[in-house]
Structure 1
Amino acid sequence: MILGLSVGAYTTLHVIISIVAILSGLVVLLAMDGNRRLPAVTALFLFTTVLTSVGGFFFHSKMVGPPHIVGVISLVDLAIALAALYLGKLAGVWRPVYVITATIALYLNVFVLVVQAFAKVPTLNALAPKGTEPPFVAAQGATLVVFVILGYLAVRKYRPTA
């Protein structure tokens, strides 16, 4: 049991929240690339990303491992993004700080999605059963390149008005 839910139910809830975080994050990132501000979708993205990062710590584990490290990095990154957006109000240096940290938060969610896809989807797992083989590395590399490009474009193009 995790927080009163069976492990299966908790896992399903965690996956649903993660998918909402990723989809809303993609909408936000693409909106920033188009210099559009979407406050409600942005709040949904940040909230569900915090939930998914915190929620990952409730899974039973005997030792600290890569998922915990990614979770801590994500939460620190999200704290900065939230401060830049809601305290700094995207003024001055807070604008690029927010765009970069929001992009990193979304990237980390997608990074974990790729890890889970290779671990759980039989066809992908057959290509990279250890998660270190070239198909896995290529998928993660391509994901990183896409987010670097989209993040760079967002930093250059996103100039929200108050």
Structure 2
Amino acid sequence: MILGMSLQSFTVFHLILSMIGIAFGFIVAGGILASNRLPGWTALFLLTTILTSATGFLFPFTKLLPSHIVAIISLVLLAVALYAFYAKDLSGVWRPVYIVTAMRALWFNVFVLIAQSFLKVGLLNVYAPTGAEPPFAITQGVVLVFFILAIIAGIRRFRPA
């Protein structure tokens, strides 16, 4: 039992939380590209993404896994994004710091989504059963380039009032 749920129920909860965080993240990314702070959506994105990373540590494990490293990095990025957005109000250097940290945290969630999809979705697993095959690498590479370009565009465009 995890938080009063069976492992299967907790896994579904964690997955739903992750998907909601990713959806909110793309809304926030759109706001950044449109130079709109979207404070409500941003709060929901940061909260659900923090909870996604934090709940990952509640699964039973006996050793530190790559997913834990990703979650730790994501939580650090999210802490900096929170500080830049709320404590520093995106002033000065904190505006691009926020964009980079928030969007990298979103990218980490999307990275994990893709990795889990190739691992657990039969249609994708056929093409990359170990995660070391070209279809997996190409997919992750395309997504990484997309996020790099979105971060660059966000830094150029995001000038909230």
Q: Same fold (TM over 0.5)?
A: yes
The DSSP-based 3-state class of the residue aligned with 1:112 is helix
CA–CA distance in structure 2, aligned partners of residues 115 and 59 of structure 1: 17
2:40 is the alignment partner of 1:54: no
Q: Percent of counterpart pairs with the same letter? A: 50
CA–CA distance in structure 2, aligned partners of residues 54 and 158 of structure 1: 29
Instruction: Report the Cα offset of residue 87 of structure 1.
Output: 0.5
The DSSP-based 3-state class of the residue aligned with 1:127 is coil
Aligned to 2:31: 31
CA–CA distance in structure 1, aligned partners of residues 53 and 72 of structure 2: 8
Deviations 1:108-161 (A, max 9, x none): 000000001001100100100000000000010011000000111001100011
CA–CA distance in structure 1, aligned partners of residues 111 and 59 of structure 2: 18
CA–CA distance in structure 2, aligned partners of residues 133 and 119 of structure 1: 12
Instruction: Report the Cα offset of residue 61 of structure 1.
Output: 1.1
Q: How many residues align?
A: 161
Q: Which amino acid aligns with 1:59?
A: F
The runs of at least 4 consecutive aligned structure 1 residues that moved more than 3 Å come to none
The DSSP-based 3-state class of the residue aligned with 2:4 is coil
Structure 1: unaligned runs, 5 residues or longer: none
The DSSP-based 3-state class of the residue aligned with 1:90 is coil
TM-score (norm 2): 0.99
Q: Which amino acid aligns with 1:88?
A: K
CA–CA distance in structure 2, aligned partners of residues 10 and 96 of structure 1: 35
2:117 is the alignment partner of 1:101: no
